[in-house]
Chain A
Amino acid sequence: DAGVIQSPRHEVTEMGQEVTLRCKPISGHDYLFWYRQTMMRGLELLIYFNNNVPIDDSGMPEDRFSAKMPNASFSTLKIQPSEPRDSAVYFCASIRTGWDEQFFGPGTRLTVL
């Protein structure tokens, strides 16, 4: 299995632009998570899905952030408009069931200028 796949690996954009991050979970995993990591705040859970349905989005910072999971093999995290404080590494993770053994993707490093 290729593991969790994220794209792009690096994204540099200007303030105000729309940014879309993509994730392909491990096949057969029922849960998908989006995290953000910064030096200041560490790892933060943004949102997670179960069977493509958003379960908890309380970690989404504000309305500029949105996430979708149109099918079991694909999810997007969108920021519109982006701001410099959104600069971070964004991780996607998936698990078959329960919280244990989350498999993380390699992350997308986002820089908003």
Chain B
Amino acid sequence: GESVGLHLPTLSVQEGDNSIINCAYSNSASDYFIWYKQESGKGPQFIIDIRSNMDKRQGQRVTVLLNKTVKHLSLQIAATQPGDSAVYFCAEIYSTLTFGKGTMLLVSP
């Protein structure tokens, strides 16, 4: 989930498990959402996006779900691999882009 404090929430999974990372966004008028992955020492990398007129979008091993009623976004990663270990951010867009605080995903072999 999202953090409003100093510490990033952490999700620890075993290799091969499915991972679900959650995000609560703030602006009900936001019409576009993006998930980013950030590995240590690198800039964020685009993973998948979804527009507000959709409730689900699938990519390669990733699925994003959007629930506008409760302003909730989730990222599902299938068959999680050690290379998926990173911090994951959601971002909402309404005239400007606002990032969430991020969730750290740790995948152990």
Contact = CB atoms under 8 A, between A and B. Distances in A.
**For the complex, would chain B's binding face be called helix, strand, loop or mixed by DSSP majority?**
strand
**For the complex, would chain A's binding face be called helix, strand, loop or mixed by DSSP majority?**
loop
A40 to B, nearest CB: 7
Contact of A93 (B41, B42, B43, B96): B43
Say which size band chain A's interface belongs to. Answer: 20 to 34
Contacts of A101: 46
A110 to B, nearest CB: 15
Contacts, number: 48
A105 interface: yes
B32 A42 contact: no
Counting chain A CB atoms within 10 Å of each CB, which of B34, B95, B99 scores highest?
A: B99
Interface in B56-109: 89, 93, 95-102
Given A40-B6, A43-B102, A99-B97, 6 more contacts: A99-B34, A101-B46, A102-B44, A104-B43, A106-B42, A107-B42
25 contacts: A42-B89, A42-B101, A42-B102, A43-B44, A43-B99, A43-B102, A44-B99, A45-B99, A56-B95, A56-B96, A58-B96, A59-B96, A91-B43, A99-B32, A99-B34, A99-B93, A100-B32, A100-B46, A100-B49, A102-B44, A103-B46, A104-B42, A104-B43, A104-B45, A106-B41
